[in-house]
Amino acid sequence: MEKQKVPFITPELTVEELTQALYDTSLRLQHTNQELLQSQKEQQEIFTNVSHDLRSPITAIRNSVEYLLSSEKLDEVETNNILQIVLRRIDFLEQLINDVFLLTSIDSTQKTFSFEPINIGMLLEDFFFTCCEDRNYSACKLDLNVPAHFPYQVLADGKMLVRVLDNLFTNALKYSDGDLTITLSACTIDNTTIKITVSDTGMGIAKDHIEKIFNRTYMVANSRTPSTATGCGLGLSIAKSIIEKHNGQIWCESDLGKGSEFSFSLPIIENN
């Protein structure tokens, strides 16, 4: 049986309104398409960089193991040194794999965040005192600048916020040479938002790099080899994704040679 044609009925809309609606829709489509292309490009870059980053530690591990197997008379100290190298490379590989997994799972919303009301002052103090006991920070000065009475609650995944703080503290340590002070501070903006800042007296970041450091795959150092124990360039983009999932923002201010200040904001849910 022949299908009946249904007339295109638009009782309320004029031709001009329809044309405008069509135009708006095509703009939105164009925008979505651009976002998709950008995301595809980023995925491709991550893939290329990760493949590159995987290669050098694997080569180092292979060389070390081959050396261990072929050398007949290695004493205990030499053997230990080589095994330490292997262990460091394995740590790097593990971090890289965890970072890639976390980033892609946040993006594809596979990662379920466990949001709950959290007293942010307590979370910051807990984190700070854990760092004070951490041997990695024993050579630097740690300062806490959170008001004694800071009763603000945020809706957050505590573990994820600690992940962000941990990344900012680790970077402060990594990108410093000489005397280092890391300060963790918090304050409120307009009684609706909390601003948390991790500042350091490290090497700082040049102005033209600052806007790029939150991009996936961006590292200020040109070399992507992990030999100097640098990371894999995913840490700040993971931090950004986590903070955005909390309806917050993250940004950086820095003076080359003097230090950096990384801040993020979180909406307050309850003001006691």
Interaction site with ligand ADP (CB under 6 A): 167, 171-172, 175, 200, 202-205, 213, 219-221, 230-237, 260
3-state DSSP of 166-185: HHHHHHHHHCCCCCCEEEEE
Q: Which is nearer to ligand ADP, 162 or 220 (CB)?
A: 220
Parallel/antiparallel/unpaired status of strands 152-156 and 116-119: antiparallel
Which of 127, 175 has the CB closer to ligand ADP?
A: 175
Q: How far is the CB of 208 from ligand ADP (least distance, A)?
A: 13
SS3 content of the chain, % helix, strand, coil (to 5): 50, 20, 30
Three state DSSP letters for 245-259: HCCCCEEEEEECCCE
Phi, psi of 73 (to 5 degrees): -115, 70
> Looking at beta carbons only, is 158 or 204 nearer to ligand ADP?
204
CB of 259 to ligand ADP, least distance (A): 7
Radius of gyration of the chain (CA): 25
Question: And the tokens for 83?
Answer: 């095994």
Nearest-approach distance from CB 19 to ligand ADP, in angstroms: 46
Provide the minimum distance between the beta carbon of 58 and ligand ADP in the complex, in angstroms, as a whole number.
18
| Residue 184 main-chain phi, psi, to 5 deg | -105, 120
Task: Using the minimum distance from each CB to ligand ADP, give the nearer residue, 157 or 200.
Answer: 200
Closest approach, Cβ 121 to ligand ADP, in A, equals 23
Query: Smallest distance, Å, CB 26 to ligand ADP?
Result: 36
In the bound state with ligand ADP, the residue whose beta carbon lies nearer, of 118 and 203, is 203
The label of the residue with tokens 């135009």 reads 23
Residue 46 vs 123, nearer CB to ligand ADP: 46
**Closest residue by Cα to residue 83 from 61, 104, 50:** 61
- For the bound state, the minimum distance from the C-beta of residue 226 to ligand ADP, rounded and expressed in Å, comes to 9
Nearer to ligand ADP, 153 or 254 (CB): 254
Which residue number has the CB closest to ligand ADP?
231
Give the Å distances, CA to CA, from 93 to 60, 219, 232: 12, 17, 10
Amino acid letter for position 22: L
CB burial of residue 232 (10 Å; 0-12, 13-18, 19+): buried
Q: Closer CB to ligand ADP, residue 49 or residue 64?
A: 49
Q: How far is the CB of 103 from ligand ADP (least distance, A)?
A: 10
Cα–Cα distance for residue pair 154/6, rounded to 1 Å: 53
